[in-house]
Amino acid sequence: KAGVTQTPRYLIKTRGQQVTLSCSPISGHRSVSWYQQTPGQGLQFLFEYFSETQRNKGNFPGRFSGRQFSNSRSEMNVSTLELGDSALYLCASRLAGEGLEQYFGPGTRLTVT
């Protein structure tokens, strides 16, 4: 089975721009979560989508948004980029149900200049 894929792997943007990141979960996985990872803040939960609905949301400003499509693929959008948005953005998928492990993609490295 193919793993979680994320595109693009690397991205350089300028302050004020917006960016869209894409995540394709493992086949059959209906839950997709997004995380921001930075050296200073560690792993921060952004949001989780399940069956096209946002199920949980972390403590991030409204500039960060996401969606999930009927095939479970998910996108994350960040508008009005700030320097502090530079980070590794990780996507993780899992089967439905509680207590099940997540499977992570390789991440998208976003650099904001």
Interface residues with other proteins (CB under 8 A)? 4, 33, 42-43, 45, 48, 55-56, 90, 92, 98-99, 101-107
Closest by CA to 89, choosing from 7, 33, 34, 16, is 34
Closest by CA to 22, choosing from 2, 5, 7, is 7
Nearest-10 Cα torsion for 109, 74, 19, 1: 30
In the complex, least distance from residue 25 CB atom to other proteins, rounded to whole angstroms: 13
Residue among 62 and 99 whose Cβ is closer to other proteins:
99
In the complex, least distance from residue 16 CB atom to other proteins, rounded to whole angstroms: 28
In the complex, least distance from residue 27 CB atom to other proteins, rounded to whole angstroms: 17
